[in-house]
Amino acid sequence: MVHPVIKLVAQRIALGLLLLLAASVLIFVGTQILPGDVAQSILGQSATPETLANLRQELGLNEPALTRYFSWLGGVLHGDLGNALTNGQPIAPALGKRLLNTLFLAACAAVIAVPLAIILGLVSVRYRNRWPDKLISAVTLATISVPEFLLGYIVIFFLAVQYRLLPSLSTVYDGMGFGDRLYAIGLPVIVLVLAVLGHMMRMTRAAILNVMQSAYIETAELKGLRPFAIIARHAFPNAIAPVVNVVMINLAYLVVGVVVVEVVFVYPGMGQYLVDHVSKRDVPVVQACGLVFAGVYIGLNLIADLVSILANPRLRHPK
């Protein structure tokens, strides 16, 4: 008999792969129904009909959409994302560098946001309905409500223009020192931390408060344990599953939702790369970026599901 945990893990992985396949279909269909002609946008309005016909033949635009989809999917499965229409260069190497930049930015923001959100959530529960709880909730709610691009311009005005503490443009390049790179991405990291901190803090607070209603918490209180020790040592470990879920969702946002932030700070990541090639109507690059974003988002949510399964003692130790 198959262990319930193994069965559930296999089901989640299969569902993740199915979702990724569905995402590839949506991405391909979405790029194909865009208005305009790819060949015309590449060659310009002065191109002759013969030149347009030759380019369409070269790009395979005359083939049926289903054939083009399976050809593209087959290349993706073999690690070939195709060539960019704008320069004819392979997409994978350029995309890999941009993805590393985005992951570095997201990781720096996560290193700050995740522990800070958990600490603020614990403090908020410890002083619930008192001024620390109300202050933390009000500030995080305000940061959630402000769009990322507006947050970006606010921090640029104060930290780059007024006080000149950090650069307004996050320019990074190969061979750049680690410290210089951290200094360059200071402002986008601040914006991303503010964007996701509130969601994680509020979910941490809600999960712990739900656990605080349990009988064993009352027992710990009757034993005379300090309130913060009860919250940190007894309530928080049992609230880890929903906290991990919201952390993973926000980590996925840090990677997938950085498009606006990267554009504001002209950061050479995946978001900036995608926007640049959308304006050029470079369909293969747009498809590759969309698929990578979908893979990262689905993958991180899959990890959250697996952690939730493994954190469930009823599944780990079935009767």
Q: What is the pLDDT of residue 225?
A: 83
What pLDDT sits at residue 193?
94
pLDDT band at residue 319 under the 50/70/90 scheme: low
The whole-number average pLDDT for the span 133-162 is: 92
Asked if the 91-274 domain carries CATH number 1.10.3720.10, the reply is yes
Q: What span, in angstroms and rounded, lies between the C-alpha atoms of 171 and 175?
A: 12
**Is the predicted pLDDT of residue 314 greater than 70, yes or no?**
no
Has residue 133 got a pLDDT over 90? Answer: yes
Spatial distance between the Cα atoms of 91 and 99, rounded to a whole number of angstroms: 12
User: Average pLDDT for residues 223-236, to the nearest whole number?
Assistant: 83
Cα–Cα distance between 237 and 29 in angstroms, integer? 44
Model confidence at 117, in pLDDT bands (50, 70, 90)? very high
Q: How confident is the model at residue 312 (pLDDT cuts 50, 70, 90)?
A: low
pLDDT value of residue 316: 61
The domain spans of the chain are 91-274
pLDDT of residue 266: 92
Residue indicated by tokens 């090639």: 277
* DSSP one-letter code for 269: S
Pick the residue with more confidence: 68 or 318?
68
Question: In this structure, are residues 307 and 239 in contact, taking their beta carbons and an 8 Å threshold?
Answer: no
Predicted confidence at residue 318, as pLDDT, reads 58
**What whole-number distance in Å separates Cα of residue 251 and Cα of residue 149?**
19
Name the band, by pLDDT with cuts 50, 70 and 90, for residue 234.
confident
Q: Under DSSP, is residue 83 helix (H, G, I), strand (E, B) or coil?
A: strand
pLDDT score, position 83: 86
Three-state SS for 154-180 is HHHHHHHHHCCCCCCCCCCCCCCCHHH
Give 317 or 161, the one with higher predicted confidence. Answer: 161
Name the amino acid, one letter, at 47. A
Share of the chain above pLDDT 70, in %: 96
Burial code (b: 16+ CB inside 10 Å, e: under 16) for 109-131 equals bbeebbeebbebbbbbbbbbeee
Average confidence score pLDDT of the chain: 87
Predicted pLDDT at 22: 95
The residue ranking higher by pLDDT, 261 or 246, is 261
Q: Is the pLDDT confidence value at 213 over 90?
A: no
Provide the pLDDT for residue 1.
Answer: 65
Directed axis angle between helix 270-279 and helix 283-310, to 10°?
A: 150
Nearest to 250 by CA among 186, 305, 300: 300
pLDDT one-digit tens code per residue, 8-38: 888 889 999 999 999 999 999 988 887 766 7
Separation between Cα atoms, residue 157 and residue 262, nearest integer Å: 17
Q: Is the pTM of this model over 0.85?
A: yes
